[in-house]
Structure 1
């Protein structure tokens, strides 16, 4: 079953066109936990479109299947944060995720992901992490 989840996740990476995949081999529940630790529960919930504050209750117990839209948001958020964090550190990655971004019509990456603009966020993170 774990192999089926990994295969399904790989399709999400391909859909996003992500060259550098920090999320490869990371379980969705671990991605959620990481984002909650780094961005907070409320912000993670907002990005994923979850209304209640305890995202971990819904996802981290027995995470077997995510809706395609939610999976794309999760992978995009995790990859973007990890790319920026690797290039600039955790404080800058957090600031980048919550700050206005000209690549996204001055929305923050958190807001853009919440609206489903996952590809734009990953592209902007890639450019930022490559060029600084």
Structure 2
């Protein structure tokens, strides 16, 4: 079996989502998405927890860490297509036609990661590739 090419779309984002120390991952997410959206996706009500995660002073549950690692991967796929954090933020918050007009952030927060990861990643890849929905 031949390994996938190292230049496959989203491969770098996946690799980083798995290997980055969690505090570094949170800092990068905060830079791309803003602290409020990271807090929402992390299931917390304010940004204090996000600051603590970024500083390594606190760890979320395993479920939340897994979700934020997926969010990082998705944000990386989107960032390959646009370097504008505002576009990436808007993608997460907007009604997405590839997701039955549901916001990706809501889907990721309200459903188990294993149930929605493939559809959210597919929607991000379609957007990044310029595909019609």
TM-score, normalization by structure 1: 0.70
Aligned residue-pair number = 114
Q: Considering only CA atoms, is the larger Rg found in Structure 1 or Structure 2?
A: 2
Name the residue aligned to 1:76: 70
Q: Does 1:110 pair with 2:82?
A: no
Alignment gaps of 5+ in structure 2: 1-9
1:74 to partner: Cα distance: 0.3
**Partner of residue 100 from structure 1, selected from 86, 89, 95:** 95
Query: Aligned partners of 1:105, 1:117: CA distance in 2, in Å?
Result: 17
RMSD: 2.4
Q: 1:41 to 1:64 in 2, by over 3 A?
A: closer
Alignment gaps of 5+ in structure 1: 1-18
Name the residue aligned to 1:29: 23
Structure 1 residue ranges (4+ consecutive) displaced by more than 3 angstroms after TM superposition: 63-66
Q: Does 1:67 pair with 2:61?
A: yes
Deviations 1:12-50 (A, max 9, x none): xxxxxxx72142432211121122122221111001101
1:56 to partner: Cα distance: 3.1
